Chains A and B, each alone.
Chain A
Amino acid sequence: MAREVTRETAEAVARRSYGKLVAFLAARTRDVAGAEDALSDAFAAALVDWPASGIPESPEAWLMAVARRRMIDAARRRRSQTDAAGHLQLMQEEIEAVAARETPIPDDRLLLMFACAHPAIDPGIRAPMILQTVLGFDAATIASAFLVSPATMGQRLVRAKSKIRQAGIPFRLPERADLRERLAAVLGAIYAAFSEGWSDPDGTEVRRRSLAEEGIWLGRLVVSALPEEPEALGLLALMLHAEARRGARRDARGEYVPLAEQDPQLWNTQLIEEAEALLLRAIRMGAVGRYQLEAAVQSAHVVRRLTGQSDWAAIERLYDALAAIIDSPVVAINRAIAIAQTRGPAAGLAALDALADDARLTDYQPYWAARAGLLARTGERAAAAEAYERAIGLEADPAVRRFLQQRRAELHGGAVS
Chain B
Amino acid sequence: MKYLLLIYANEAGMASASQESVGQMLAAYGAYTEAVKKAGAYVGSNRLRPTSSGTTVRVANGKTEVLDGPYAETKEQLGGYYMIDVPDLDAALSWAARCPGASHGTIEVRPIWTM
Contact = CB atoms under 8 A, between A and B. Distances in A.
Nearest to B112: A83
A170 interface: yes
Contacts of A119: 93
B92 to A, nearest CB: 7
Nearest to B88: A170
B20 interface: no
Contacts, number: 27
Interface string A156-175: 00000000001111100011
A169 B89 CA distance: 5
B114 A168 contact: no
Q: How large is the interface on B (under 10, 10 to 19, 20 to 34, 35 or more residues)?
A: 10 to 19
B111 interface: yes
B1 interface: yes
Interface string A108-124: 00000000001110000
B90 interface: yes
B87 interface: yes
A20 B14 CA distance: 51
Contacts of B88: 168-170
A170 B111 contact: no
B93 A168 contact: no
A195 B42 CA distance: 45
Interface in B8-67: none
A167 B89 contact: yes
A166 B111 contact: yes
Nearest to A175: B90
A83 B113 CA distance: 8
Interface residues of A, number: 12
Nearest to B3: A168
Contacts of A166: 111
A167 B111 CA distance: 6
Nearest to B86: A168
B94 to A, nearest CB: 9
Contacts of B114: 83
Contacts of A167: 89, 109, 111
A120 B111 contact: no
Interface in A117-139: 118-120
Contact of A170 (B3, B87, B109, B113): B87
A160 to B, nearest CB: 14
A166 B114 CA distance: 10
A237 to B, nearest CB: 30
Interface string B101-114: 00000000101011
**Which of A118, A167, A170, A175 has most B Cβ within 10 Å?**
A167
A175 B94 CA distance: 11
B109 to A, nearest CB: 8
A119 B92 CA distance: 13
A169 B111 CA distance: 11
Nearest to B1: A168
Nearest to B2: A168
A315 B69 CA distance: 61
A172 to B, nearest CB: 8
B32 to A, nearest CB: 20
B93 to A, nearest CB: 7
25 contacts: A83-B113, A83-B114, A118-B89, A119-B93, A120-B93, A166-B111, A167-B89, A167-B109, A167-B111, A168-B1, A168-B3, A168-B87, A168-B88, A168-B89, A168-B92, A168-B111, A169-B88, A169-B89, A169-B90, A170-B87, A170-B88, A170-B90, A174-B90, A175-B90, A178-B90
Interface of A: 83, 118-120, 166-170, 174-175, 178
Given A168-B89, A169-B90, A170-B87, 19 more contacts: A83-B113, A118-B89, A119-B93, A120-B89, A120-B93, A167-B89, A167-B109, A167-B111, A168-B1, A168-B3, A168-B87, A168-B88, A168-B111, A169-B88, A169-B89, A170-B89, A174-B90, A175-B90, A178-B90
